[in-house]
Chains A and B, each alone.
Chain A
Amino acid sequence: MNADKVLDAKGMACPMPIVKTKKAMNDIDSGQVLEIHATDQGAKADLTAWSKSGGHELMDHSEEDGVLKFWIKKK
């Protein structure tokens, strides 16, 4: 999937992946896609809930070799 910006949040513990995601979202325009890489397992449920509450669209996510990847489209 094509992303407009990639955020590396690997090795970060909660709440940092969400804090960084929120900041990165401010740097992209509505309709653009942010790709996030994280290793904190809690990020899965939290990014899903955060996207939903902010009205953003979690388009896809994957997990490979312990790295979680998310693609979120900005509202």
Chain B
Amino acid sequence: MAVKAMKASEVARRVVEKKDLFILDVRNEDAYADWKIESDSFQYMNVPYFELLDGVEEIMENIPKDKELLVVCAKEGSSQMVAEMLSDEGMEVSYLEGGMKTWSEHLEPVKVGDLPNGELYQFVRLGKGCLSYMALSNGEAAIIDATRMTDVFINFAKEKEVKIKHVFDTHLHADHISGGREIAEKTGAVYWLPPKDAEEVVFEYEPLTDGEQVRIGDTAIDINALYSPGHTIGSTSFVIDNRFLLSGDILFIDSIGRPDLAGKAEDWVGDLRETLYSRYRELSEDLVVLPAHFMIMEEVNDDGSVQEKLGTLFEKNHGLNIEDESKFRSLVTENLPPQPNSHQEIRQTNMGKITPDIDKKQEMEIGPNRCAVKA
């Protein structure tokens, strides 16, 4: 029986549509425990490929015959080998094209709302939990928190026949490599960064400060910068068209930002509290919160988007409901989850201080984003 290659986009569709899939992950146990393809509707088995070199007979009885079967590994080679062995045993089987590396890079554009003469799209990176945004209006576009897969954004703008005018990063990212500067260079757009996060960057940028207002399209949608430190000292949120709050890594759907990724948890915890408990409190509860990450599949809605009303988060997000300040302080500075892989090198890359090649970039980004702390 022939072995089929399944594309990351097909896996993404099964995740969003909550379809069945049996995943045989043949990476080693540590890699699997650290990070895998997440879905509530999938079943999983982890057997390292090197345990299967002599044959797959021993695991055959543990693989359900009534479910679609996908073999997954880091890059592709081992999953293809194991899939062929299973196929020789008469199984109908696919392997993940490009492996977890490609899964980590896959972006799915999801429309989250209409804008005057335009639309707002969220680019969902299911494999890593990163969310980027593109606002379109009257032939112009702005991009917020772009990932390094810059072609996806540039081609999307081409398809929509819009010119990319502004590119923003809400903060200096520590979990993934920003595509912001590259998109600006390729399209002639303006690249904006919060200056307090950009003190060490080695390239030109436009400083993004509180109250800055940028317009795209003739009828103009307003993109208002709101200084909201805490995850980093420069972290800035955006309010688009008075309806959408792009909260960066400060506020997520089911968690809040962590203040320790630049090694300054104690210094920034006060800012984090001020932003979440005062500055955000002054905003309209009808704003739709659009964060820069999600951590668990429960945060992903049925349409594949990640969004929730600010008022709802004030009620339900536990991180917004810790009245005792010292409790809050200990929550976000003690017992934090492990820091993202290579976060120091990623910060250096985003400052332009180091320029790793594509293989190195992929390796640095392996694993989950881990930017949040859950109360």
Contact = CB atoms under 8 A, between A and B. Distances in A.
Contacts of B29: 49
Interface string A3-35: 000000000011110110010000000000000
Contact of A14 (B30, B78, B363): B78
Given A49-B50, A53-B51, A16 B363 contact: no
Interface size grouping (class) on chain A? 10 to 19
From B49, B50, B74, residue with most partner A Cβ within 10 Å: B50
Contacts of A15: 49-50, 53, 77-78, 81
A43 to B, nearest CB: 11
B48 interface: yes
Contacts of B53: 15, 18-19, 22
Contacts of B31: 45
Given A18-B53, A22-B53, A49 B48 contact: yes
B77 A14 contact: yes
Given A18-B49, A45-B31, A50-B50, 9 more contacts: A13-B75, A14-B49, A14-B78, A15-B77, A18-B53, A19-B53, A46-B48, A49-B48, A53-B48
B223 interface: no
Interface of B is mostly: helix
A41 interface: yes
A45 B30 contact: yes
Contacts of B50: 15, 18, 22, 46, 49-50, 53
A61 to B, nearest CB: 15
Contacts of A50: 48, 50
A14 B51 contact: no
B28 interface: yes
6 contacts: A18-B53, A22-B50, A46-B28, A46-B48, A49-B30, A49-B50
A27 to B, nearest CB: 16
Nearest to B73: A14
Contacts of A14: 49, 73-75, 77-78
Contacts of A53: 48, 50-51
Interface in B33-59: 48-51, 53
Nearest to A46: B28
Contacts of A41: 363
B200 to A, nearest CB: 28
A42 interface: yes
B77 A13 contact: yes
A41 B77 CA distance: 14
A60 to B, nearest CB: 20
Nearest to B75: A14
A57 B50 CA distance: 16
B74 A42 contact: yes
A15 B53 CA distance: 10
From B28, B74, B81, residue with most partner A Cβ within 10 Å: B28
A67 to B, nearest CB: 15
A19 B49 CA distance: 10
Interface string B132-156: 0000000000000000000000000
Contacts of A42: 74-75
A18 B28 CA distance: 12
Interface in B47-97: 48-51, 53, 73-75, 77-78, 81
B364 to A, nearest CB: 11
Nearest to B53: A22
